[in-house]
Amino acid sequence: MKALVYHGPDQKSWEDVPDPEILKPTDAIVEIDTTTICGTDLHILKGDVPAVTDGRILGHEGVGTVVDVGSAVSRAKEGDRLLLSCISSCGSCSFCQQGLYSHCLADEGASGIGWIFGHLINGTQAEKVRVPFADNSTYRIPEGVSDEAALMLSDILPTGFEIGVRNGRVKPGDIVAVVGAGPVGLAAVMTAGLYGASRIIAIDLDDNRLEQAKVFGATDSVNNSSGDGWIDEVKDMTDGLGVDVAVEAVGIPQTFAACLKIIRPGASVANVGVHGKAVELPLQDLWIMDITMTTGLVSTSTTPMLLKLVAQHKLSAEKFVTHHFALDEMLDAYDTFGRAAETKALKVAIQRRRT
């Protein structure tokens, strides 16, 4: 089969590789119908994730059709159309029983790590993929839900909701600011309304992303590309007090600091972005403000709920897809996604048969 293979920093190729095989009774083999590229894949290609080694097939998001199952698989059946979660979980270890699937202790790649696709085992940017724990890490897609919509539930929608909205303790009437209007930030924007946020402010350097944010549910947008005037702009929207919840959705020190500048006493700061560098934490100022700060790695425990909302057209997840490619156009898809500021790409849909 063909697959996108990592060969070290800045080295990738679309090449022939062996078909996946069932290795454990809980495995399934899934033919990929639609996959996509994540910002994490770009970090891998920069060499930022040393656990990813030469020869690894990348990708951790996918929709596909079951073509074979192991002897212990009971729920997934040949011919089923499934959503593949970015987090693989055995369902029986102590962390899985707590709903912390991201820290599954099963021995698949490394104990205590649920993100294994395209990281510790071969991933979904291929014609077929081996899916461990198929009964607990896949979801049957309801009739009427498109591949593109379902695909957004592999990673970005549960990430924005669980780590941004839920961890941020958004409640009815809150004013929420989302710093960073990339795909995960927009997922937080889209799902903040589920908990009754009265105002959702998108903050970004890119006017195009800010316009997109309004399509995803932002009530207001603020460009913070120059000076500190944007802080007053946000404060003016909150009676001068600051926001109730600030969601950091980029992963750099500047955006973390931006969140701390716009919060009111008693606020929450929910860190969603993946940080590669230390940030300054001014506890000498924050403790007296009664600030709650949270971090987290998505567990995808909310995926069934979000899938129901997508099926009932309460969430228009397909809006994230801006570009379409065929599987054999994988390298073109990477080029488009890697130049998102120029191409205005949010998420790309890479399909077995391009539509």
- Residues of the domain holding 61: 2-155+300-351
CA dist., res. 107 & res. 84, Å (int):
19
Per-residue pLDDT of the chain (355 residues; tens, 9 = 90+): 999 999 999 999 999 999 999 999 999 999 999 999 999 999 899 998 999 999 999 999 999 999 999 999 999 999 999 999 999 999 999 999 999 999 999 988 888 999 999 999 999 999 999 999 999 999 999 999 999 999 999 999 999 999 999 999 999 999 999 999 999 999 999 999 999 999 999 999 999 999 999 999 999 999 999 889 999 999 999 999 999 999 999 999 999 999 999 999 999 999 999 887 899 999 999 999 999 999 999 999 999 999 999 999 999 999 999 999 999 999 999 999 999 989 999 999 999 976 5
Contacts of 148 (CB under 8 A, 6+ apart): 34, 317, 318, 320, 321, 349
Q: Of 249, 267, 294, which closes a domain?
A: 294
Give the count of domains, the chain.
Answer: 2
- Identify whether the C-beta of residue 255 lies closer than 8 Å to the C-beta of residue 180: yes
Q: Are residues 212 and 170 in the same domain?
A: yes
Domain match, 192 and 336 both = no
Whether residue 138 sits in one domain with residue 12: yes
Q: Is 99 helix (H, G, I), strand (E, B) or coil?
A: coil
CATH number, position 305: 3.90.180.10
The 10 Å Cβ neighbour count of residue 46 is 11
Q: Taking the CA atoms of the chain, what radius of gyration do you get in angstroms?
A: 20
Residues 119 and 84 in one domain: yes
Shared-domain flag, residues 7 and 138: yes
Check: CB of residue 54 under 8 Å from CB of residue 124: no
